[in-house]
Homo-oligomer: A and B are copies of this chain.
Amino acid sequence: MIHLDLRDPRPMYEQVVSQMEMLVARGVLAADEKLPSVRQMAIELSLNPNTVQKAYSELLNKGVIYSVRGRGNFVSGDCTAVRQAKLEEIKQQIYKLRQQAHEFGITVKQWNELLQSLIEEGKL
């Protein structure tokens, strides 16, 4: 279900987090569905249970899952919520890029042309 890339510079637990978010966002994991247990997931991914635990804690913090002692971890919301959150996160990142562009002396005109060209690409 999840594939880890050892060459990816991001820590393992973060890869798990983003892939789980992805699965929820795409509706592969429905609301209130039970996730694999910490130990089982650790075996599947050849990771230490602590690492998986950290990933699950992060997902808990982000509100993507909820966890019940002795019963397991479960998906908390439906796909739209996570997808919307991601869209907002991406928007913030583009704001940062725009800020960088501005600091490098790139004009608003050049910036808008870049975005426009990206939209054109998308329409193909």
Chain A residues with CB under 8 Å of chain B are: 6-9, 11, 21-22, 25-27, 32, 61, 66-71, 74, 76, 79, 82-83, 86-87, 90-91, 93-94, 97-98, 100-101, 103-106, 108, 110-112, 114-116, 118-119, 122-123
Contacts and interface: CB of A to CB of B under 8 A. Distances in A.
Contacts of A32: 6
A107 B82 CA distance: 14
B103 A22 contact: yes
B114 A91 contact: yes
Contacts of A61: 61
Contacts of A9: 66-69
Given A26-B105, A68-B9, A86 B115 contact: no
A97 B104 contact: no
B86 A100 contact: yes
A93 B86 contact: no
